[in-house]
Amino acid sequence: MPLLGELEREALRLSLTIALRSVVVSLPLATLAAWLLTRVRFPGRTIFDALVHLPLVLPPVVVGYLLLVAFGARGPLGGFLERTFSLHLVFTSAGAALATAVMTFPLMVRAIRLSLESIDPGLEQAARTLGAGPFDRFLTITLPLTTPGLLAGAITAFAAGLGEFGAVITFASNIPGETRTLPLALYTALQQPGGDAAAARLAALSFSLGLAGLLASESLARWVRRRMGR
């Protein structure tokens, strides 16, 4: 008997791809949000800060529901995406990735923000006196020095995204082969008589995945610190 059955393999594949897609989508946006929150004074900054953090405190079902309202076929954004890009989000893996991205967004912003705040603004000033304009400075000084935060944010968001449940099931439903990720498969197994063994295997799989993620993130962080000489 192979290590992983058909059921586990599919759930694992979906969990990994959906989490990965969510990270790819949210990383640039989270970087932008973190940069705005640390470097720019603008009206409504406090409200923006609260909005970014809202998914941390809202019940995930509420986030899923709000996504349904906004991105549903008749919602303001969903209708637009449907017409212009023929992009369906509800009940698709793309939708699951979106829900995951929204849920893990605050984690990512926090990690990047911490990293941004720890950069000595004097370094950007030094780059300025050496002839670097704003965009140049961002690309050559700020962004590379934020790498530890970007990596930490991406890994944390990815690991958390693997287990996103409430928002995904509400917005993208529980469709085998499309949106049935590890936690959803585990939940489904528990609903079925005799599904205990399958549930245990899925739980063990989630556990090892989470542990591997944490270890990887720790050793990556150490590697980055060594490179930066801290």
Partner 1 sequence: MLSVRLRKQRGPFALDVAFDAPTPGVVALFGASGCGKTTLIDLIAGLLRPDAGRVEVDGEVLFEAGRADLAPERRAVGYVFQDARLFPHRSVLGNLRYGERRAKRRAPTASFEEIVELLGLAELLARRPHQLSGGERQRVAIGRALLSRPRLLLLDEPLASIDRVRRQEVLPYLERLRDRFRIPIVYVSHQFEEVLRLATHVVLLEAGAVSTQGDVASVSRSGALHTLLGPDAAGAVVEGEIEAVAPPGIASVRIGEGVISIPARRAAVGRRVRVQVRASEVVLAIEPPRGLAQANLLEGRIAALAPEATGSQLVEVDVGGPRLLSRASAERARELRLAVGQKVWLVVSSAAVRGDFPAS
Return residues touching partner 1 (CB under 8 A): 120, 122-123, 125-133, 136, 140-141, 144-145, 147, 227-230
Nearer to partner 1 among residue 79 and residue 144 (C-beta) = 144
What does the buried/exposed string (b/e) look like for 45-68 if buried means 16 or more CB atoms within 10 Å of the residue's CB? Answer: eeeeeeebeebeebebeebbbbbb
Nearer to partner 1 among residue 118 and residue 208 (C-beta) = 118
Least distance from C-beta 219 to partner 1, angstroms?
Answer: 19
Q: Indicate the SS3 state at residue 75.
A: coil
Least distance from C-beta 115 to partner 1, angstroms?
Answer: 12
Phi, psi angle pair for 172, to nearest 5°:
-115, 0
Least distance from C-beta 127 to partner 1, angstroms?
Answer: 7
Nearer to partner 1 among residue 15 and residue 115 (C-beta) = 115
* Helix (H) and strand (E) counts in the chain: 11, 0
Least distance from C-beta 29 to partner 1, angstroms?
Answer: 24
CA distances to 23, 38, 49, 117 from 33, in Å: 15, 9, 9, 13
CA distance linking residue 19 with residue 208, whole number of Å: 16
CA distance linking residue 33 with residue 27, whole number of Å: 10
How large is the C-alpha radius of gyration of the chain?
A: 20
Nearer to partner 1 among residue 9 and residue 225 (C-beta) = 225
Least distance from C-beta 120 to partner 1, angstroms?
Answer: 7
**What would the two tokens of residue 211 be?**
């542990």
Nearer to partner 1 among residue 125 and residue 219 (C-beta) = 125
